[in-house]
């Protein structure tokens, strides 16, 4: 299993995944604003539940930075729907379900040995390039500090260009 995920400076591979049983979302639809991709192993695992609950709490700060948060795992849209309702999540969970883990593989975030997504974070800038990426150990909640720092840097860069 490769230990590396796509690094900063790489163009983020576009994808289209199911957000609900009858709606899809493409990364390219969000071009022009920062996007946070939070790949995680499984909806109902304790660490993933804590991680997604934390992001739900930090969502206003992500939105203040103009960013859209997307959670991605290999679970089905039905599983995501039940999990999001149970946890009162206010952001999209995308199903990298079939072909299983195809998008995670393109980002270097698929664990083929265990058949699940690795815990990886990406902040993508307005132009579609990866500004920051981080691979966390599966059993560790990576928190939100790295994401917030990356968003702060993007905001500083864009205000520096404007001034």
Q: What is the mean pLDDT of residues 153-161?
A: 85
Q: What pLDDT digit, counting tens, does each position of 112-122 carry?
A: 999 999 999 99
CB atoms closer than 10 angstroms to residue 141: 18
Q: Where are the domains of the chain?
A: 39-162
* DSSP states of 95-145: E-TTTTTHHHHHTT-EETTTTEE--EEEEE-TTSBEEEEEE--TTS---SH
With a CB cutoff of 8 Å and minimum separation 6, the contacts of 55 are 38, 62, 69, 71, 91, 144
Q: So what's the pLDDT on residue 163?
A: 43
Strand partners, 24: 18
Task: Say if residue 160's pLDDT is above 90.
Answer: no
pLDDT for 102 beyond 50 = yes
Give me the pLDDT at residue 33, please: 96
> How high does pLDDT run on average in the chain?
95
Q: Which residue has the higher pLDDT, 91 or 158?
A: 91
**Structural fold of domain 39-162:** Glutaredoxin (3.40.30)
pLDDT of residue 161: 61
Annotated active-site positions, please? 48
């Amino acid at each position: 299993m490769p230990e590396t995920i796509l690094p900063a400076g790489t163009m983020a591979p576009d994808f289209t995944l199911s957000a609900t049983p009858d709606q899809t979302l493409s990364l390219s639809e969000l071009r022009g604003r920062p996007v946070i991709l939070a790949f995680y192993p499984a909806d109902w695992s304790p660490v993933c539940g804590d991680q997604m609950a934390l992001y739900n709490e930090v969502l206003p700060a992500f939105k203040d930075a103009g960013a859209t948060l997307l959670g991605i795992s290999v679970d089905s849209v039905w599983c995501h729907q039940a999990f999001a309702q149970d946890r009162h999540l206010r952001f999209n969970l995308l199903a990298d379900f079939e072909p299983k883990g195809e998008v995670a593989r393109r980002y270097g975030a698929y664990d083929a040995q265990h058949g699940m997504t690795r815990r990886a974070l990406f902040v993508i800038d307005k132009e579609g390039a990866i500004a920051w990426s981080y691979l966390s150990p599966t059993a560790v909640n990576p928190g939100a500090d790295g994401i917030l720092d990356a968003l702060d840097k993007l905001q500083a860069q864009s205000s520096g260009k404007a001034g």
